[in-house]
């Protein structure tokens, strides 16, 4: 017999809140380090890029061209793996396991030494995020991994090196998500359900951006933040930001 919907809803919210509390309490040092790296890059004329494949692309997209967000966050898109926008959807998962793809993407992207790259991957075990971090680090970027360390402890790598995303990052933000992601179970439902990784990882990304903005302000550097286009003057404000930072914002090109 399944639980009442209200009880399941409460269980999901409690699970998500518990994960958010763990991240807040256990990842504060890593969050601060990531925010400092972002603030340093902004202050020094660098650029910020974010990458995620499949559903891990959602937290990446959440900080790009976002009202209340940092204008210099750029999505590093890999065709076929951004969300579930390909048919069949399983093709995106297959592309994550293709060796060499990350190197081609970086070689044809605008990244340069001194930039920051967030690589978001829940499992961190596939070739694409592992090689994205490897290659970006070799190019002189500061690499920040956003992943679940539990996967590295409880699963095997799918990369020829046997390593995980976390092994190639300067800074690692651990989302604390359990292997399998889903946080609910029910005797009448044959598989675990209700994933929480997007909730937690999006929160992690937003808090890093917010902390970087306050860090910049404390240094006397005005952070280039975007306003909502749905408030009066928002488009005009953003147009000024786009013009001022046109050489560091690539989603406008």
Beta bridge partners of 52: 120
5-27+46-58+73-207 is classed CATH 3.30.70.20:
no
Sign of the Cα pseudo-torsion (9, 10, 15, 19, in order): positive
Longest Cα–Cα distance of the chain, Å, equals: 60
pLDDT > 80? residue 202: yes
Confidence bin at 8 (pLDDT 50/70/90): confident
pLDDT of residue 102: 87
How far apart are alpha carbons 107 and 184 in whole angstroms?
41
Query: Residue 103: how many CB atoms within 10 A of its CB?
Result: 16
Segment among 92-96, 183-187, 211-215, 230-234 with least mean pLDDT: 92-96
pLDDT of residue 5: 67
Q: What's the predicted TM-score (pTM) here?
A: 0.93
With a pLDDT cut of 90, the percent of the chain lying above it is 81
Q: Average of pLDDT values for 179-190?
A: 93
Confidence bin at 253 (pLDDT 50/70/90): low
Confidence bin at 26 (pLDDT 50/70/90): very high
- For 109-125, the pLDDT digits (tens) are 999 999 999 999 999 99
Copy the structure tokens of residue 177. Answer: 């998500």
Q: Average of pLDDT values for 54-72?
A: 95
The domain limits of the chain are 5-27+46-58+73-207
Closest-CA residue to 20 (of 151, 177, 149): 177
Contacts of 207 (CB under 8 A, 6+ apart): 31
pLDDT > 80? residue 76: yes
pLDDT > 90? residue 198: yes
Contact 219, 74 (CB under 8 A): no
Sign of the Cα pseudo-torsion (122, 123, 124, 129, in order): negative
């Amino acid at each position: 017999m399944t639980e009442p919907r209200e009880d399941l809803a409460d269980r999901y919210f409690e699970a998500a809140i518990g994960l958010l509390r763990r991240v807040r309490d256990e990842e504060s040092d890593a969050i601060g380090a990531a925010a400092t790296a972002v603030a340093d890059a902004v202050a020094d004329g660098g650029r910020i890029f974010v990458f995620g494949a499949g559903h891990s692309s959602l937290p990446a997209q959440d900080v790009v061209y976002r009202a209340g967000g940092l204008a210099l966050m750029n999505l590093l898109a890999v065709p076929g793996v951004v969300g579930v926008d390909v048919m069949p959807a399983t093709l995106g998962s297959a592309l994550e396991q293709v060796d060499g793809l990350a190197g081609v993407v970086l070689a044809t992207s605008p990244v340069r030494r001194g930039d920051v790259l967030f690589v978001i991957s829940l499992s961190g075990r596939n070739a694409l995020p592992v090689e994205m971090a490897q290659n970006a680090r070799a190019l002189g970027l500061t690499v920040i991994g956003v992943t679940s360390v539990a996967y590295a402890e409880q699963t095997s790598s799918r990369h020829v090196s046997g390593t995980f995303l976390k092994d190639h990052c300067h800074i690692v933000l651990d989302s604390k998500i359990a292997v399998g992601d889903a946080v609910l179970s029910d005797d009448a439902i044959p598989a675990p359900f209700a994933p929480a990784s997007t909730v937690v990882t999006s929160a992690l990304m937003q808090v890093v951006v917010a902390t970087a903005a306050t860090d910049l302000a404390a240094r006397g550097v005005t952070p280039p933040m975007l306003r909502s286009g749905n408030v009066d003057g928002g488009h005009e404000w953003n147009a000024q930001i786009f013009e001022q930072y046109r050489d560091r914002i690539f989603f406008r090109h």
